[in-house]
């Protein structure tokens, strides 16, 4: 049975079935869906007797604290140890460059399978399973594993569930469809401990995170007419509050919670002084705003990198004002 409208689905299943070893990578700075998909796929392929080499293209493959409970993390290998000769499974990468330092190796692999749900995915694989109608890559991985004959157990289901929960904002976003909820329900039936996961993922912040939250909310800027709110996190903030960069993802959800704005942005200063900008919208598209600035993402959640904070914020305000409220 072919899931989704993905012409290369059967070929991808065949390629994975025939591979004795598989290199796997999710996008750099992995989130819950990237990690959940990566570890679920690794556990599943391992169950089929394959050698698996999960990683992502960064110098360190340390799992962020709030995801450190995920099963399968012990399978992770350093990016440098990902074999070049194995079939390569790329997960949740909207473009080849999201593989970071592993991009070159992935492109040189005998078969590169690109499994993703980002609109605008550039089909960088030799086989591309890009399904933009699902909530998460984890949804696609679930069906792939089922087609491969993997027995979904509690560990695999936990990884998949985390991918779905995080990419749907705990089933709150528009991408949470009846199918998504049915799949999540099926995963729960394998023994997934949803309350425990909620606690691990959403209530495991270090104390410094509360202090950082205070700073970020205090300095939030509202552009009333454009219904645009934004704030920022500097490297100095992280240093002084002791919060790791990958522990700040939840802050944009606080900033976007005001009824005064439809579009929210969070600027995060990177180690090279540039700013990573995450955008969220309650309706009007922010995907184009991000893409025109060299970034990408979904229509209601997108991001890009910019050299300067104030100029970029002013540019976004101008563009939102020009688009008017009808967009």
Q: Which is nearer to Mn ion, 33 or 269 (CB)?
A: 33
| CB closer to Mn ion, 27 vs 227 | 27
| Residue 33 binds Mn ion (CB under 5 A) | yes
Q: Residue 126 or residue 137: which is nearer to Mn ion going by CB?
A: 137
CA distance 10 to 143: 12
Instruction: Map tokens 């240093």 to a residue.
Output: 239
Number of residues binding to Mn ion, judged by CB under 5 A: 5
C-beta of 92 vs 262, nearer to Mn ion: 92
Closest approach of Cβ 138 to Mn ion, in Å?
8
Which residue, 131 or 277, is less far from Mn ion as judged by CB? 131
| 27, 28, 29, 31: CA torsion to nearest 10 | 10
Q: Is 226 in the site for Mn ion (CB under 5 A)?
A: no
Contact call for residue 116 and Mn ion (CB under 5 A): no
- Shortest reach from residue 56's CB to Mn ion, in Å: 13
In the complex with Mn ion, the residue whose CB is nearer, 202 or 258, is 202
Contacting residue, 8, 92, 155, 269, with Mn ion by CB under 5 A: 92
The tokens describing 238, both together, are 């992280």
Cα atoms in the 13 Å half-sphere on the side-chain side of 250: 17
CB of 179 to Mn ion, least distance (A): 16
State the minimum distance, in angstroms, from the CB of residue 37 to Mn ion.
Answer: 7
Secondary structure of the chain in HEC code, one letter for each residue: CCCCCCCCHHHHHHHHHHCCEEEEEECCCCCHHHHHHHHHHHHHHHHCCCEEEEECCCCCCCCCHHHCCCCCHHHCCCHHHCCCCCEEEEECCCCHHHHHHHHHHHHHCCCEEEEECCCCCCCCCCEEEECCCCCCHHHHHHHHHHHHCCCCCHHHHHHHHHHHHHHCCCCCCCCCCHHHHHHHHHHHCCCCCHHHHHHHHHCCCCHHHHHHHHHHHHCCEEECCCCEEEEEECHHHHHHHCCCHHHCCCHHHHHCCCCCCCEEEEEEECCCCCEEEEEEECCCCCHHHHHCCCCEECCCEEEEEECCHHHHHHHHHHHHHHHCCCC
User: Judged by CB, which is closer to Mn ion: 136, or 176?
Assistant: 136
- Helices 137-148 and 178-188, packing angle to 10 deg: 60
Binders in 287-326 for Mn ion, by CB under 5 A: none
> Is 167 a residue that touches Mn ion (CB under 5 A)?
yes
The distance of closest approach from Cβ of residue 154 to Mn ion in the complex, given in angstroms and rounded to an integer, is: 22
CB of 226 to Mn ion, least distance (A): 28
We find the least distance from the C-beta atom of residue 169 to Mn ion, in angstroms, to be 12
Site string for Mn ion, 136-165 (x = CB under 5 A): xx----------------------------
With CB atoms as reference, the residue minimizing the distance to Mn ion is 33
Site string for Mn ion, 119-138 (x = CB under 5 A): -----------------xx-
Indicate whether 247 belongs to the interface with Mn ion (CB under 5 A). no
The DSSP letter of residue 89 is E
- Span near Mn ion by CB under 5 A; candidates 33-41, 175-183, 282-290, 303-311: 33-41
Q: Quote the least distance from Cβ 33 to Mn ion, whole Å.
A: 3
Q: Least Å distance between CB 161 and Mn ion?
A: 14
Task: Name which of 119 and 208 has its Cβ closer to Mn ion.
Answer: 119
Contact residues for Mn ion, defined by CB under 5 A? 33, 92, 136-137, 167
């Amino acid at each position: 049975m072919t899931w989704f409208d993905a012409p290369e689905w059967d070929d991808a299943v065949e390629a994975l079935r025939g591979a004795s070893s598989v290199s796997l990578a999710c996008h750099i700075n992995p989130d819950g869906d990237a990690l959940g998909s990566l570890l679920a796929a690794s556990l599943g392929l391992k169950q089929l007797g394959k050698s698996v080499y999960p990683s992502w293209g960064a110098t360190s493959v340390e799992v962020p604290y709030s995801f450190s409970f995920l099963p399968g993390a012990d399978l992770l290998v350093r990016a440098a140890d990902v074999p070049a000769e194995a079939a390569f499974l790329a997960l949740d990468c909207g473009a080849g460059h999201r593989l970071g330092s592993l991009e070159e190796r992935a492109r040189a692999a005998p078969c590169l399978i690109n499994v993703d749900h980002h609109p605008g995915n550039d089909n960088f694989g030799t086989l591309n399973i890009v399904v933009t109608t699902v909530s998460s890559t984890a949804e696609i991985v679930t069906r792939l594993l089922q087609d491969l004959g993997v027995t979904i157990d509690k560990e695999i289901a936990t990884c998949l569930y985390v991918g779905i929960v995080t990419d749907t904002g705990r089933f709150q976003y528009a991408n949470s469809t009846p199918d998504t909820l049915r799949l999540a329900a099926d995963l729960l039936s394998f023994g997934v401990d949803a309350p425990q996961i909620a606690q691990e993922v959403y209530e495991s912040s270090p104390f410094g995170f509360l202090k950082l939250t205070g700073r970020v909310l205090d300095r939030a800027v509202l552009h009333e007419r454009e219904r645009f709110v934004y704030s920022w996190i500097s490297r100095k903030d992280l240093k002084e509050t002791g919060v790791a960069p990958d522990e700040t993802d939840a802050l944009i959800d606080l900033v976007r919670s005001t009824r005064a704005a439809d579009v929210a942005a969070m600027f995060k200063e990177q180690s090279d002084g540039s700013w990573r900008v995450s955008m969220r919208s309650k309706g009007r598209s922010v995907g184009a705003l991000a893409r025109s600035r060299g970034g990408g993402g979904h229509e209601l959640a997108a991001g890009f990198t910019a050299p300067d904070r104030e100029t970029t914020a002013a540019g976004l305000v101008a563009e939102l004002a020009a688009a008017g409220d009808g967009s």
